[in-house]
Amino acid sequence: MDLPDDRRAPERTMRELDWNLLRTFVVLSESRSVTEAANRLRLAQPSVSAALKRLEARIGKRLIDRGPGRFRLTEAGERLKREAVDIQGSILRIATLMRELPDEISGHVRLAVASHVVCPLFDRVLAEFHACHPKATLSIDVHTSAEAVARVTDKSATLAVCLVRERNPRLEYSRLYREYFGLFCGPSHPLFGREGLAVGDLAGQDAVSFETDRLGDVLRPVTLMRAEARMGERVIGVSSHLEEVRRMIVAGLGVGSLPVHVAARDMADGLLWQLPPYEALPAIDVHVVWNPRTRMNRAESSFLKLLQAAIETTPIEARTYR
């Protein structure tokens, strides 16, 4: 459908108007002569005069009243100047906004994570990072805590989420969350389902354990809990992976320790039974570890900053899982 005549002219002007003519006109409107405007624009005077004539022809109005000793804007020129200055400002703002907008992040983040890290805050950061940077990719490799720290130390991983035995002064640490360990048994164990148990009822029971469940290692508080219960010296099964320790407990090999919040679902499903002690359970901290000497790509830096911000703005009470 053809536009009416009064609509065709503005549409044609929008399509055909050269924005450089408007820029030239703004400089002319702020000058006292074509020569002065040409000097400011670093153009030849005939080029500026020709540009003004083309603009007046396109607009259909005389914009500058010029002659011997005269160089002033007409009423049409005043109106056009107001609009042209506004347009010029918008173009400048567009350039500034585009310059300030960073390119979309598309790097790779490699995480070294200890077995079965269960932390809603960490999961939230993963979701937020992906929402902000959908082209960035991640890989999560499961290791023992010692191996995870080693990956960060040799710069083959962006960061680690793990237990920490001794702090390396060359690395940075931030506590991600705190969890509490309890003792559990599986359905075939003789203590399963028994109410009113006391710590003394665990005396002599065989154990399932983590490789780090030793007096000199990171799970020392858990080792002391087993010792106080006077459990037997025989350790039937050992693993560095929480899932495998859980498997052996559920299978009835012995009594084993697990983070209470991780075991909650299995307890509800009747696969695990919590044993005493029920109070003053050993607390274990899980840390984020990174190497400040690693030259991180933008995706890695963004992920670490997002995780640090979440940790700093969330009280430790909200990052403690009982």
pLDDT per residue rounded down to tens, the chain (322 residues): 343 444 445 666 666 677 788 888 889 888 889 899 889 889 899 998 998 999 888 888 899 998 888 889 999 989 998 888 878 777 766 766 666 556 678 899 999 999 888 899 999 999 999 999 999 999 999 998 989 999 999 999 999 999 998 899 999 999 999 999 999 999 999 999 999 999 999 999 999 988 776 655 677 888 888 888 888 778 899 998 899 999 999 999 999 999 999 999 999 999 999 999 999 999 999 999 999 999 999 999 999 999 999 999 999 999 999 8
CA distance 319 to 310: 10
- Tell me if 184 sits within 8 A of 257, measured CB to CB: yes
Cis peptide before 134 (omega within 30 of 0): no
Taken in order 189, 190, 191, 195, the sign of the CA dihedral is positive
CA distance 29 to 234: 94
- Residue 96 belongs to what H/E stretch? helix 75-100
Our CA dihedral for 241, 243, 249, 252, rounded to 10 degrees, sits at -110
The set of residues, in sequence order, having a beta carbon less than 8 Å from that of 50 and lying 6+ positions away, is none
Q: What is the pTM of this model?
A: 0.66
Closest CA to 251 of 236, 265, 261, 229: 236
Phi–psi pair at 63, nearest 5 degrees: -105, -30
The set of residues, in sequence order, having a beta carbon less than 8 Å from that of 96 and lying 6+ positions away, is none
